[in-house]
């Protein structure tokens, strides 16, 4: 897959390096490395997973020293098994060891997101449902976390509040509890390219919204598979249907089987477990 451009990633990596180097730099490496010493290393998976975040890992080393060589063996979006090399990294010892932790932090986190996403995607294989992330991302890291979801075979929900109109329960309260009024007000404000999605948590709300018209998609929140199946039948292809709320790899197949278009999974970016990856010295390289 096409990586994000370096101009988007460099500020994040540079901030991570500055945080880690502090005011005095890498005291340990400065004390032990010989002048001009070169290291040959490899980023190696300790667990099975899906790769994401190689551009950030590369920048963590090359911002320390542009002479570092970074050779990818498993690209973003590719599967990796325990013990397999993801990339080879060679260059001056201060650059390799000074950038190691920042590189691993980004790479392990994003590989964890891609791996978790791929697990849900596999669970719903054979259905039309797409696995989608949300805006429940770490501040400043939304672009790269959503990139990792795509690397795992998932899709992205809106990136920002100005991407689309999503009317949730608090917005309906602003409209006095009137779903029809909320939809009409949103449609009057929306540009011709702006989609409108309405969150509903009961079939009665969905029926009201369908009578009112104006929604391009419905977020079906915390509904049982039986309710979801009925909701899909009610919508009957007139809008996109999105299931949300507590979706896990175990519950995803039954939810996808109801015929919904999208499974919205917030924990892919806010509670994911990092993939275990190490930077190993290659003896004799």
pLDDT in tens, 44-82: 999 999 999 999 999 999 999 999 999 999 999 999 999
Q: Residue written as tokens 């999503």?
A: 166
pLDDT for the residue numbered 285: 60
Token pair recorded at residue 126? 């054979």
Residues of the chain within CATH 3.20.20.70 domain(s) are 121-264
User: Hey, what long-range contacts does 37-40 have (CB within 8 A, 24 or more apart)?
Assistant: 37/92, 37/93, 38/90, 38/91, 38/92, 38/93, 39/90, 39/91, 39/92, 39/93, 39/96, 39/97, 39/281, 40/88, 40/90, 40/281, 40/282, 40/285
The CA distance from 192 to 9, in Å, is 32
CATH superfamily of 121-264: Aldolase class I (3.20.20.70)
Q: What is the mean pLDDT of residues 103-112?
A: 98
Catalytic annotation, residues: 101, 136, 168, 199, 221
* Greatest distance between any 2 Cα atoms in the chain: 75
CB contact at 8 A, 76 and 107: no
The CA distance from 58 to 259, in Å, is 41
Share of the chain above pLDDT 70, in %: 99
pLDDT for the residue numbered 281: 94
pLDDT for the residue numbered 283: 72
Residues of the chain within CATH 3.90.1170.20 domain(s) are 6-120+272-281
Q: What is the mean pLDDT of residues 194-199?
A: 97
Phi-psi domain of 28 (left: phi exceeds 0; alpha: psi -120 through 50; beta: other): alpha
CB contact at 8 A, 253 and 124: yes
Averaged pLDDT score across all residues of the chain? 96
CA distances from 148 to 2, 32, 46, 96, 151 (A): 12, 36, 19, 24, 5
**Per-residue confidence band for 284, with pLDDT thresholds at 50, 70 and 90:** low
Candidates 3.90.1170.20, 3.40.50.150, 3.40.50.720, 3.40.50.920; CATH matching 6-120+272-281: 3.90.1170.20
Please check the confidence at residue 266 and state whether its pLDDT lies above 90: yes
Please check the confidence at residue 173 and state whether its pLDDT lies above 70: yes
DSSP letter at 211 equals H
Q: What is the mean pLDDT of residues 234-248?
A: 96
Q: What is the pLDDT of residues 206-217, one digit of tens each?
A: 999 999 999 999
The CA distance from 269 to 95, in Å, is 30
pLDDT for the residue numbered 207: 96
Please check the confidence at residue 239 and state whether its pLDDT lies above 90: yes
Share of the chain above pLDDT 90, in %: 96
CB contact at 8 A, 77 and 114: yes
Q: What is the mean pLDDT of residues 228-240?
A: 98
Q: What is the pLDDT of residues 38-54, one digit of tens each?
A: 999 999 999 999 999 99
CB contact at 8 A, 171 and 136: no
């Amino acid at each position: 897959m096409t990586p994000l451009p370096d101009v988007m990633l460099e500020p994040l990596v540079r901030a991570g390096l500055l945080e880690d180097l502090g005011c005095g730099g890498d005291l340990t490496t400065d004390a032990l490395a010989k002048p001009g010493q070169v290291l040959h290393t490899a980023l190696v998976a300790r667990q099975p997973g899906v790769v994401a975040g190689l551009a950030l890992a590369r920048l963590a080393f090359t911002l320390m020293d542009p002479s570092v060589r970074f050779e990818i063996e498993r690209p973003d979006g590719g599967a990796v098994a325990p013990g397999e090399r993801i990339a080879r990294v060679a260059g001056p010892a201060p650059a390799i060891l000074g950038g190691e932790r920042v590189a691993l932090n980004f790479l392990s986190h994003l590989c964890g997101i891609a791996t978790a996403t791929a697990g849900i995607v596999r669970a719903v294989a054979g259905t039309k449902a797409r696995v989608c992330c949300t805006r429940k991302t770490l501040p400043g890291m939304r672009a790269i976390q959503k990139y990792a979801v795509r690397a795992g075979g998932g899709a992205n929900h809106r990136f920002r509040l100005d991407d689309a109109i999503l009317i949730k329960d608090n917005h309906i309260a602003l409209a006095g509890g009137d779903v029809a009024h909320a939809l009409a007000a949103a449609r009057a404000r929306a540009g011709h390219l702006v989609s409108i999605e309405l969150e509903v948590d009961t079939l009665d709300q969905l029926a009201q919204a369908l009578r009112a018209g104006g929604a391009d998609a419905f977020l079906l929140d915390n509904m049982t598979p039986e309710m979801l199946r009925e909701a899909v039948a009610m919508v009957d292809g007139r809008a996109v249907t999105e299931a949300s709320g507590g979706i896990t790899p175990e519950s995803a197949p039954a939810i996808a089987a109801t015929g919904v278009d999208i499974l919205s999974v917030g924990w892919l970016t806010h509670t994911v477990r990092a993939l275990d990856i190490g930077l190993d010295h290659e003896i004799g390289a």
